[in-house]
Chain A
Amino acid sequence: MTKIIFEQVVNMILATLLACATATTVLHSTIDTSNTNYFVEIKFNRLWLLFILMSIIFSILRYVYGKVFGQHDGYDTKAAEFSCQDEREQLISQHATKITYRFMTNILAASLAILLFSNLLTNSIMMLRLIPIILIAVCFNLMLLIYLIAWIFYDHNI
Chain B
Amino acid sequence: MEIVNHVQHYRKQANLTQEKLAQLAHVSRKTINSLERGHYTPSLLLALQISKILNLDINVIFSIKE
Number of interface residues of A (CB under 8 A): 10
Residues facing A in B1-53 (CB within 8 A) are 26-28, 30-31, 34, 39-40, 42-43, 45-46
Which secondary structure characterizes the binding site on chain A? Answer: helix
Query: Please, which residues of chain A bring their CB within 8 A of the CB of B46?
Result: 87
A45 at the interface (CB under 8 A from B): no
Complex CA distance for A88 and B34, rounded to whole angstroms: 9
Contact in complex: B39, A86 (CB < 8 Å): no
Question: Which chain A residue lies CB-closest to B45?
Answer: A87
Query: Please, which residues of chain B bring their CB within 8 A of the CB of A85?
Result: 27-28
Report, as a range, how many residues of chain B touch the other chain.
Answer: 10 to 19
Tell me the smallest distance from the CB of B20 to a CB of chain A, in Å: 15
Complex CA distance for A91 and B31, rounded to whole angstroms: 11
Chain A 86-102: CB-based contact to B (< 8 A → 1; otherwise 0): 11110100000000000
Query: Please, which residues of chain B bring their CB within 8 A of the CB of A157?
Result: 39
Most buried by B among A74, A86, A157: A86
Complex CA distance for A85 and B46, rounded to whole angstroms: 14
Contact in complex: B42, A87 (CB < 8 Å): yes
Tell me the smallest distance from the CB of B65 to a CB of chain A, in Å: 19
Chain A 117-158: CB-based contact to B (< 8 A → 1; otherwise 0): 000000000000000000000000000000000000001011
Tell me the smallest distance from the CB of A75 to a CB of chain B, in Å: 13
Tell me the smallest distance from the CB of B48 to a CB of chain A, in Å: 13
Contact in complex: A158, B40 (CB < 8 Å): yes
- Can you sample 26 A-B contacts with CB below 8 Å? A74-B28, A85-B28, A86-B26, A86-B27, A86-B28, A86-B31, A87-B27, A87-B31, A87-B42, A87-B43, A87-B45, A87-B46, A88-B27, A88-B28, A88-B30, A88-B31, A88-B34, A88-B40, A89-B28, A89-B31, A91-B40, A155-B30, A157-B39, A158-B34, A158-B39, A158-B40
